Amino acid sequence: MTADAPHRLHPRTRRAISWTIAVVALTAVTTSLLAIAFANSPPERTVNLAVVPHPDDEFQMWSLLEHTPDEYKVFVSLTRGEETAFCEPDLLESGLQADLGEVPPSPEPAGRWTPECEEARMASLLGYLTQMSQTDPSIPGDFEALPTVTLPAGDTAICRTDDGAERCGADVREVRVWKDREDRGAVLVFDLGDGDLTAEESEWAMRSVISQREELGIDADLRIASVLGAFANDHHACFSYPHPDHLAVHEALRTRDLDAGPQLAATCFLDPAQSLTALVGRDSADAAFELAPDGTRLGAHPRHYGWLSSSTYPLGGFLQSQLFMRFQSFWIGFN
C-alpha cells in the first residue's frame, strides 16, 4: 500500500473507522473507571464452612483459612470426639503433661462416651481457636455461647452408637453454637457419633447449616463461598489416614452437590484427583505447633489438644508424611 492509500478510502469507510476508534477509546475509559470503582469498593464478605469430623482436625485445611479477613469462618465439627481413649482417667493421667504446658481437659473426663468427655473436647476446640486468633485476627476466637439448636431430621436417619448402643432421639440432632463477639465467625458442634459417622449424616449436617444458618446465628445474607473438608488418605503414599469418619465427609463432599460453591477436601498430593496445593504460612505453623527447646508446648495445638496424645502430634512438611502438614493439597468438586 502506498503512503497516500488511506486518502482513497470510501467516505463511508472512513466514517466507520472514525466511529470504531471513538468506541474503542470510550470503552477504554469506561473500563478504567470501572476498575477504579471496583478497586475502591470493599470486597464482598463471604462465608467459608470448614467441616471436620472431630474437634482437633482444623489445621488440616488451614492454608485456605489463614489471613482471610473477608471470610466469615464457620467451623463445623460433626461429632464431639467422645470416643477418644484419652477420656479414660488412667490414660489421661499417663498422657497429660501439664508440666510442659498442656492445658488439662475441662471438665475432667469420666470416661469415653461421657458428657464430660464431650465437654472437654469442645472446650479444647474453643481454646485452640482462641489462641490461634491471637496471631491471626481473621480467625474467630472471642466466643459467646448461643442457645442449643435442635434440627429436623427430614428423611435422613440420624443416630449415634455409643459402645454398641444406638441412639436416634432428638438429642442426637442438637447443635451446640458459639459465635465470635467480633463477628469473625462461629463454631457449630454436631453430635453424630464419633467412630460411626456416615456420609448421609455428613450431608444432612452440611445441608442443615446451609439452609438454616439464620437459626444457627449466621447471617443468611452472606453468600457461602466454599465448603472445606478435613484430611483423609486411604491409598496414596502420603500419611495414611483412612479414618471412617473422615472418609464419610469426603464421600459426602465428593458425591453430593450442596449448591454452596466449590466443595474441597484435603488429600495427598499424589492423589490423581487433587488440583490445588497451598502452603500454611510460617507464622500460622509456629502459632499452631511450636515447641520450646525443652519441649514446653507453645503452639495452640499441643497446648489445647496435647492431652489427646501421650506425646505431641508433629507437623509435617513437603512430603506430607504426618497427619498435620504445612504443604496441603485438595481435590475440588462441583466448582
Measured at the CA of 258, the angle between CA 133 and CA 193, to 5 degrees, comes to 65
The predicted structure's pLDDT at residue 18: 45
Rounded alpha-carbon distances, angstroms, from residue 140 to 91, 107, 143: 31, 23, 8
Q: Which of 210, 217, 212, 219 is CA-nearest to residue 257?
A: 210
Q: For residues 37 and 335, what is the distance between their CA atoms, to the nearest angstrom?
A: 28
Q: What was the pLDDT predicted at 41?
A: 59
User: What pLDDT shows up at residue 75?
Assistant: 98
Kind of pairing between the strands at 324-325 and 315-316? parallel
- Return the biggest CA–CA distance within the chain: 99
β-pairing verdict for 160-162 and 263-267: unpaired
Q: Are strands 223-229 and 263-267 parallel, antiparallel or unpaired?
A: parallel
What CA–CA distance (Å, rounded) separates 329 from 322?
13
- N-term to C-term CA, the chain: 51
pLDDT of res. 40 = 56
SS3 readout for the chain: CCCCHHHHCCHHHHHHHHHHHHHHHHHHHHHHHHHHHHHHCCCCCEEEEEEECCCCCHHHHHHHCCCCCCEEEEEEECCCCCCCHHHCHHHHHHHCCHHHCCCCCCCCCCCCCCHHHHHHHHHHHHHHHHHHHHHCCCCCCCEEEEEEEECCCCCCCCCEEECCEEECCHHHHEEEEEEECCCCEEEEECCCCCCCCCHHHHHHHHHHHHHCCCCCCCCCCCEEEEEEECCCECCCCCCCECCHHHHHHHHHHHHCCCCCCCEEEEECCCCCCEEEEEECCHHHHHHHHCECCCCCECCHHHHHHHHHCCCCCCEECCCCCCCEECEEEEEEECC
> Across the strands, what pairs with 166?
161
8 Å CB contact between 47 and 72: yes
Where does residue 67 fall: left (phi above 0), alpha (psi -120 to 50 degrees), or beta otherwise? Answer: left
Distance CA 61, CA 326 (A): 9
Which pLDDT value is given to residue 30? 35
Q: What are the domain boundaries of the chain?
A: 1-41, 46-333
Which CATH number is associated with domain 46-333?
3.40.50
Query: Beta partners for 76?
Result: 51, 188
Per-residue model confidence as pLDDT tens for the chain (335 residues): 433 334 344 444 344 434 433 433 433 443 443 344 445 556 899 999 999 999 999 999 999 999 999 999 999 999 999 999 999 999 999 889 999 999 999 999 999 999 999 999 999 999 999 999 999 999 999 999 999 999 999 999 999 999 999 999 999 999 999 999 999 999 999 999 999 999 999 999 999 999 999 999 999 999 999 999 999 999 889 999 999 999 999 999 999 999 999 999 999 999 999 999 999 999 999 999 999 999 999 999 999 999 999 999 999 999 999 999 999 999 999 98
Rounded to whole angstroms, the Cα distance separating 108 from 118 reads 10
Cα 91 to chain centroid, rounded: 30
Interior CA angle at 210 toward 205 and 215, to 5°? 90
